[in-house]
Amino acid sequence: MTPDTAALEIDRAHAHYGPREVLRGITAELPSARLTAIAGPNGAGKSSLLNLVAGVLPPTSGSVTRRDPGRVAYVTQQSEVSQSLPITVRATVTMGRWAHRGHWRRLSKMDRKIVGECLERLDIMSIADRLIGTLSGGQRQRALVAQGLAQRAGLLLLDEPSAGLDLHARGLIDEALHTTLAEGTTVVRVTHDLEVAGRADHCLLLQDGRLVGDGPPASVLTPESVSAAWGLRTRVY
Ligand SMILES: Nc1ncnc2c1ncn2[C@@H]1O[C@H](COP(=O)(O)OP(=O)(O)OP(=O)(O)O)[C@@H](O)[C@H]1O
């Protein structure tokens, strides 16, 4: 897939949790090998849209069509991962290679190299032998992002990967995502941070389950659209 072709097309998609409609007629294209940010206020449907793209939340009508091949990696928020899992950081990142090897097969040298690179990229090599449950929320989040990167997927989906992280960790994640974009991965990132959304290649703005903006961030995140979506005046960087 060449850049600027669509990696994924969503056509008039509606989605429900039980009787509750959470996505209302979404039509959008995600550009291949580009970073798409999904922005919007609390409850707008950002995570639901990511779940729709991931195939976790099936559309009740409309369609989602993947145009480029390869695996899908999904990085959830660290708060959704059990802290009592008796698993180290290195093992967590290594799980990212299972789809390639099957967990009954031995990891190759290349798998170990990729795991090492991902630990380095997120600056968590020094805590590689710690149990996930003993980490801070930010450290755990970095381990999950490293696991997502280790999958070397064609489509990488992240739900607020830098929520609650300090500046250093945010910078590491941004750098790691840029490297993976340059390698040809399509990245979709939910964010509450308008500065992050403003630096993306493409932005989808949601409000009340509807897509109210779709395009380059500068044209989507205008003071008027942000004010309308959040119901207040917010500075857009
Ligand atoms: N499993 C679920 N069952 C029922 N309703 C749900 C479920 N998950 C989310 N919702 C509802 O769907 C709507 C959209 O939720 P979603 O989590 O997609 O929004 P969001 O934009 O990601 O919110 P936030 O910024 O608060 O994380 C909300 O009204 C929420 O209450």
Domain range for 126: 6-230
Model confidence at 100, pLDDT cuts 50, 70, 90, reads confident
For position 121, which CATH number holds?
3.40.50.300
Say how many domains are in the chain: 1
Looking at ligand 1, which atom is closest to the CA of residue 49?
Answer: 18
Which of the residue ranges 94-98, 201-205, 222-226, 227-231 has the most confident prediction, judged by mean pLDDT?
A: 201-205
Domain assignment present for residue 158? The answer is: yes
Residue 212's alpha-carbon distances to 45, 142, 199, 209, 224, in angstroms, are 12, 31, 19, 9, 12
47 CA distance to ligand 1 centroid (A)?
7
23 CA distance to ligand 1 centroid (A)?
10
Written as six digits, the tokens of 28 are 């959008």
Identify the pLDDT of residue 103.
64
Identify the pLDDT of residue 173.
94
Residue 214's alpha-carbon distances to 30, 59, 70, 227, in angstroms, are 10, 20, 25, 16
Model confidence at 27, pLDDT cuts 50, 70, 90, reads very high
Domain assignment present for residue 1? The answer is: no
45 CA distance to ligand 1 centroid (A)?
6
Please write the tens of the pLDDT for every residue from 40-79: 999 999 999 999 999 999 999 999 999 877 899 999 886 6
Pocket test of ligand 1: the residue of 21, 24, 26, 48 to mutate, having most ligand atoms within 8 Å of its CB, is: 48
48 CA distance to ligand 1 centroid (A)?
6
Looking at ligand 1, which atom is closest to the CA of residue 160?
Answer: 27
The phi, psi pair for 75, rounded to 5°, reads: -100, 110
Proportion of the chain above pLDDT 70, given as a percent: 92
Identify the pLDDT of residue 237.
46
Residues lining ligand 1, CB < 6 A?
Answer: 17, 20, 22, 40, 42-48
Please check the confidence at residue 1 and state whether its pLDDT lies above 50.
no
What's the predicted TM-score (pTM) here? Answer: 0.92
Please write the tens of the pLDDT for every residue from 179-208: 999 999 999 999 999 999 999 999 999 999
Please check the confidence at residue 3 and state whether its pLDDT lies above 70.
no
Question: How is residue 161 annotated by DSSP?
Answer: T
The per-residue pLDDT of the chain, averaged, comes to 91
Domain assignment present for residue 161? The answer is: yes
Domain assignment present for residue 131? The answer is: yes
